[in-house]
Amino acid sequence: MSIKPFIVLPESRPRSLNVVGEQIAILASKGATHGYEVFFQEGPDGSGPPPHSHPWDETFYVIRGDIEFGIDEKSMTAKPGTLVHLPAETVHWFRFGKGGGQMISMAGIGSRASTLFTDIDAEIPVGPPDIERLQNIAKRNAVRMFVD
C-alpha cells in the first residue's frame, strides 16, 4: 500500500472532537501517513488531560496562549513558539492558561491517539467526565492515566 500525498485546508479541516473540554481535529491519522499522527488542539483555560503516559512519542508546538506542561515531576509554562517533545512512556499533562490556547501536536509511530480521541468524543458526554469511564477508554488505547 502506498502513501498518497494530501493537503488539509482550513475550510476542509475535519470536525473537531470534544475530548473532555478540549477540541481536537485529526489533521493526519496514522492511516493516512502510515506512521505518525498530527492534531490541531484548542481549549479553554483550565482544560487539558490528567497525568498520563503512552507507548508513543508526542510533540507539541504552541501556537496561541500560555500552556502549562507537567513532565514527570516538573512543570513549565510554554508560550507561543515553544516546542515540547515527550519520549514514549513519559508521564505528562498540560493545562491551557487564561484565555485558552491552540497548539499542533504530533504523535509518533504506534500512536493510538486518534482512536483514543474518537472514542472519548463518542463515549464521554460534554461536562465533567466520568473518570472511571475515561480510564477504561484510555486503557483500551494503551494510555495509562494517573488520577486519584
C-alpha cell at 93: 499533562
Q: pLDDT at position 1, please?
A: 62
All residue ranges of the chain with pLDDT < 50 are: none
Q: Are 146 and 55 in contact (CB under 8 A)?
A: no
The predicted pLDDT at position 30 comes to 93
- The CATH H-level (homologous superfamily) assignment of domain 11-145 is Jelly Rolls (2.60.120.10)
> Is this model's pTM higher than 0.75 or not?
yes
Residues whose CB is less than 8 angstroms from the CB of residue 132 and which lie 6 or more positions away in sequence, other chains included:
none
The C-alpha atoms of residue 91 and residue 4 are separated, in whole angstroms, by 34
Question: What is the pLDDT, as a whole number, of residue 148?
Answer: 73
